[in-house]
Amino acid sequence: MGAEIWRRGILGAGVAALLVAAVLLRATELADVPGMNGDEARIGCQVLSLRSGVPTGLRTSSGLVPNFLYMGPLYLLHALSPEPRFWKLRIIALASGLVTLGLTYPLVARIWDRRTALLATLLVAASPPLIIYSRLGYDPSQIPLVGLATIYFALRGEWWGALAVLSMGLAVHPTNVFLAPAVAAVWLCAPPGAEAARRGPPAAPLGWRLGLLGGATLLLGAALWAVVETSPVGRFIPGGLDGVRHRLTDPSQMATFVFAVADLLSGTTVYAHVAGRPSLEFIVAARLVAGALAVGLLAVGIRRRDRQGLALAVGLGIGLVALYLVGGTAALSPGWERYGLFSVVPMLLLAARFLRALGNTSWAWTGQLIGTLSIGASLLLGCHHFYHATLHATGSDAFLLAPLSRSFRTGPIDPKQAAFERITAEVPGDAEIAILAEDWWTYFPIRYLAYGRPLTHVLFTEEAGDFRPQGRRLFAVGFAEGPSDRLLGTAWGSGWMADFFDYQGRPVVRLWELTGREAVLPELARVCRRPGT
């Protein structure tokens, strides 16, 4: 009896420690780690423009209809507390991540059982992509919550609920459409819930239902093919229809996509996007472990003839294949991993279900819990090392892989915020200022902060050709070694004011004062002009 109490106490302490660590990794240093991305700040600018009654475009940066499930709470937050603060732009993402984590246990317990629910909760808590997207303030942060709710209603057989959540999920992000095959597979091939599972097999043979699902999938594919063939949608597909045909027959691309799914689950892809690419040893080991676990757990589900689990696995597989055919291997590359985020929570639920199927004795349960805690601890340690510790050591090296990731570079204070604070410290609050921001990634963070100073005007530098300061103090902000730096650091070096550094001491953002040097503006606008504008 005493040994049993000790065993439960130790396991309980392990569960509590993992959950606390997972919450801390989501919630600490929200404002500055990583640096504020232009896409995040753009939503804040839209919200503050709405609040102040200024006409503003409400489309997303991709031209989509805005996600009011994200923008609405952000608007309310700024209505209650209008002062611009970077942490406010991410608090809705954090809340969405914590709600997903908090709902996993009660929802999974209702569709399966409490022990499976605990395993699922631990895996969701420790998932690196779910942790990091709880810290990034834009629409995709709510994709995991949509996935959890959709699969919950589908597995309970509440189809209208599943379809309603899935429909709302399309407003969160269009890639949630790839959850539809999972809903259809569960509907066609598995009885709903644990109670129905005990009532025996469904009325129609499983093979017939799988055939129906396959036929429906082919019909859907044919319909999509016809739409793509006869509309402008095809231009958004890499390589067009020829690219789709090639991906259907190219084993190397298929293998690359399978590895990309493993990298998504291990956090490799999102680390590379935000903080920097992990070591090759980590990537190889993570792929091997993910592959072994996937094959082993799927074999358990097949052996146990788990209709619900296998139906969900088949549906997710169809969704991922559809993503591969439409988006190619690039759909899960660093910076685009959000396109595969719809699959993360359902795959973690599947892993928990198949783990639980390994046995129902007391010792089998202990082994399952210890195994899950070990996996979770490894994922959390990886997230701490390759994300938090890397950002604190370097400020982010992701820009070395993809220049568009340079806005994630950070220091003790976000360099873009530090530049704005330096400008406002130079000029009294009742004086007018004009700030030329080099690109999307500097413009929106600075413009968001400037809502606290109505006399501060922020412009894209490419708009400066005909700009007349009209007595305003004039400043320019750009990235080190960017186009502004290459021009102003040579011909106009005397206007330099300050550098703002990452944690490694490398300059990230540079600030110049151009008051009285307006002659450089046409050339500055030319070198900073974005392609296609």
pLDDT tens track for 311-349: 899 999 999 998 898 888 888 999 899 999 999 999 999
- Give the separation between CA 294 and CA 375, rounded to whole angstroms: 13
CB atoms under 10 Å from CB of 9, counted, come to 10
Residues 308 and 56: their CA atoms lie apart, in Å, by 46
pTM of the full structure: 0.90
* Block residue for tokens 């915020």: 417
Identify the pLDDT of residue 203.
Answer: 47
Give me the helices (H) in 395-457, please: 415-426, 440-450
Instruction: Specify whether the CB–CB gap between 155 and 308 falls below 8 A.
Output: yes
Q: Report the distance separating Cα 498 and Cα 425, nearest Å.
A: 13
DSSP string for residues in 431-444: S-EEEEE-SHHHHH
Contact 186, 308 (CB under 8 A): yes
On whether the CB atoms of residues 179 and 319 are closer than 8 A, the answer is: yes
Query: In whole angstroms, how far apart are CA 459 and each of 35, 454, 525?
Result: 21, 14, 11
Alpha helices in 81-205 (DSSP H): 86-111, 114-126, 128-133, 143-155, 159-172, 180-189, 193-197
State the pLDDT at residue 30: 93
Cβ contacts of residue 464 below 8 Å, gap of 6+?
A: 436, 521, 522, 524, 525, 528
What does the pLDDT read at residue 205? 57
Could you tell me if 38 and 440 are in contact, meaning their C-beta atoms sit under 8 angstroms apart? Answer: yes
What pLDDT is recorded for position 229?
Answer: 46
Question: 238, 307 in Cβ contact below 8 A?
Answer: no
Those residues whose C-beta lies under 8 Å from the C-beta of residue 288, and which sit 6 or more positions away, are none
Structure confidence by residue, pLDDT tens digits, 89-112: 999 999 999 999 999 999 999 999
In the structure, how many helices (H) and strands (E) does the chain have?
A: 23, 5
How far apart CA 433 and CA 424 sit, in angstroms, is: 9
Quote the pLDDT of residue 198: 40
Q: What is the pLDDT of residue 194?
A: 43
Q: Whose CA is closest to 180, among 337, 383, 37, 316? A: 316
The predicted pLDDT at position 501 comes to: 94
If you write DSSP's letter for every residue of 484-526 in order, what string do you get? HHHHHTTTTGGGEEEEEE-TTS-EEEEEEE-TT-GGGHHHHHH
The token pair that represents 11 in the structure block: 């396991």
Please list the residues that pair with 507 across neighbouring strands: 501
Q: Is the dihedral of CA 52, 55, 60, 65 positive or negative?
A: positive
Q: Tokens 């994300």: give the residue.
A: 387
pLDDT of the residue at 10: 83
Task: With a cut of 70, list the residues of the chain below it in pLDDT.
Answer: 1-4, 6, 54-64, 190-241, 490-495, 532-533
Contact criterion met (CB below 8 Å) for 445 and 458:
no
* C-alpha R_g of the chain: 25
